[in-house]
Amino acid sequence: MKIDSICCIGAGYVGGPTMAVIAQKCPNIKVTVVDLNEARIAAWNDADFDKLPVYEPGLADVVKEARGRNLFFSTDVDKAIDEAQMIFISVNTPTKTYGAGKGMAADLKYIELCARQIARIAKSDKIVVEKSTLPVRTAEAIKSILDNTGNGVNFQILSNPEFLAEGTAVQDLHNPDRVLIGGNDAEAIQSLVDVYGNWVPKERILTTNVWSSELSKLTANAFLAQRVSSINAISELCEKTEADVSEVAKAIGMDSRIGSKFLKASVGFGGSCFQKDILNLVYIAKSYGLHEVADYWEQVVIMNDHQKHRFAKNIVRTLYNTVSGKKIAMLGWAFKKDTNDTRESAAINVAQDLLNEEAKVAVYDPKVEPAQIQFDLGEQFEGVTIENNPYETCKNAHAVAILTEWDEFVTYDWQKIYDGMLKPAFVFDGRNILDKQKMKAIGFIYNAVGSSN
């Protein structure tokens, strides 16, 4: 089937950018992205491209090029399903917060709702593509719902997990390491291969069976997160032994079998997916009785929790064992640079720990809205101030903590920040982005992750 109309259910961090790029690269395919969230769809349609709901470098230009030509954002889900030959499901699959598997398993209720809606509306054959990250064998459940509640039309299910990282989404979509398509039906697979073939070289489009594709996505995130936890585990040892984690990372990364990426020690990984996907993997392993497999992967999350809390504890210990009533300036709230996404950001845990110790927390982030910070902290937000200027944020602070590796933090006038702070002035660099020697020369007591002072 040659595809000329696509619908994507879910206009979030994956659905929005992914479909914008498909529309940009395939001008002959009509791409409609739908969502129940009216405010989100309105923002995708906003005349002011600075107001798109997802901040990603380069995204506004892609949307500018395609929107209104062959890219549309709408809340009319039924109509978009009816008109499309191929339907991507890009809805959220968060960790369950209730019932069996609470705190571990993926909550598939949004996926099931989509499947039922597609079954109800579809009056012609459809290819349904799993774009969301899903537990292995979910395609089976989707197929069962579609076939049992549908109108007798033919459904093919493909798995096409997304590997983009936030902050580099457009770059990743334009030039992916690989596109993975899992399926059982050669014709359906070919239809999707042809869509990506408009800009992705053939040798980077990998086809597998559905289950391998579903499981590869969870596995990829587990491996990436595991690298971060591994280097973070070593960072604690470095702090005790006068080894320097950046030097260790460089030394091991030069071994081509290990490779240099994803070896930056940090305050801990965040983002909506690493923890959720590992917990999901752990849950699946447990459900098959594979307890050693489950424990092995769970340790990646346990180590990450330890790293986040350790960072806050270190601040308290270094500030003479009390931060009560002291102003601590936090630079960065997003879970990584170049995104406005704060889901599972380490900054949230660190702020919570400091607020529990009665610190006065001041936050500055170049892209995160104050309302989001308020949402993330709930009632604890009472103890927080937000400035729109980093120098004000740091003024009269006992300590500055760097939580996100935004490039602009490196370029600040750190002498000016030092002059405005209480003395001794402490810096806790949770991303190792500042120059230790320069900071010390200014007079800061500088603490990095994974090296001794």
Helix residue ranges, H only, 86-137: 109-121
Considering only 4, 37, 295, 422, the residue that binds ligand NAD (CB under 6 A) is: 37
Known catalytic residue: 114?
no
Q: Which does 77 bind (CB under 5 to 8 A by kind): ligand NAD, ligand UGA, none?
A: ligand NAD
CA distances to 18, 238, 349, 350, 409 from 344, rounded to whole Å, are 22, 26, 8, 11, 21
Amino acid letter, residue 372: Q
Write each residue from 183 to 202 as x if it is in contact with ligand NAD (CB under 6 A), else as -, in one continuous string. Answer: --------------------
Following CA atoms 319, 323, 327, 333 in sequence, which dihedral angle do they give, to the nearest 10 degrees?
Answer: 90
For ligand UGA, the closer CB: 166 or 429: 166
Instruction: For residues 314 and 244, give the distance between their C-alpha atoms in angstroms, rounded to a whole number.
Output: 17
**In the complex, what is the shortest distance from the CB of residue 119 to ligand UGA, in angstroms, rounded to a whole number?**
27
Supply the DSSP symbol for 50: G
Considering only 24, 70, 92, 95, the residue that binds ligand NAD (CB under 6 A) is: 92
Residues 374-413 close enough to bind ligand NAD by CB under 6 A: none
Asked whether 9 and 114 are in contact (CB, 8 A), the reply is yes
Supply the DSSP symbol for 94: P
For ligand NAD, the closer CB: 42 or 422: 42
Q: Which does 92 bind (CB under 5 to 8 A by kind): ligand NAD, ligand UGA, none?
A: ligand NAD
Q: Is 262 left (phi over 0), alpha (psi -120 to 50) or beta?
A: left
Considering only 138, 156, 221, 352, the residue that binds ligand UGA (CB under 6 A) is: 221
For ligand UGA, the closer CB: 150 or 271: 271
Considering the rule CB under 6 A, would residue 110 count as an interface residue with ligand NAD? yes
Write each residue from 89 to 128 as x if it is in contact with ligand UGA (CB under 6 A), else as -, in one continuous string. Answer: ----------------------------------------
Instruction: For residues 59 and 52, give the distance between their C-alpha atoms in angstroms, rounded to a whole number.
Output: 9
Supply the DSSP symbol for 222: H
Its sign, for the CA torsion 186, 190, 196, 202, is positive
Write each residue from 312 to 341 as x if it is in contact with ligand UGA (CB under 6 A), else as -, in one continuous string. Answer: -----------------------xx-----
Instruction: For residues 257 and 450, give the distance between their C-alpha atoms in angstroms, rounded to a whole number.
Output: 23
Which parts of this chain interact with ligand NAD (CB under 6 A)?
Answer: 9-15, 34-37, 40, 77, 90-93, 110, 113-114, 132-133, 162, 164, 166, 272-273
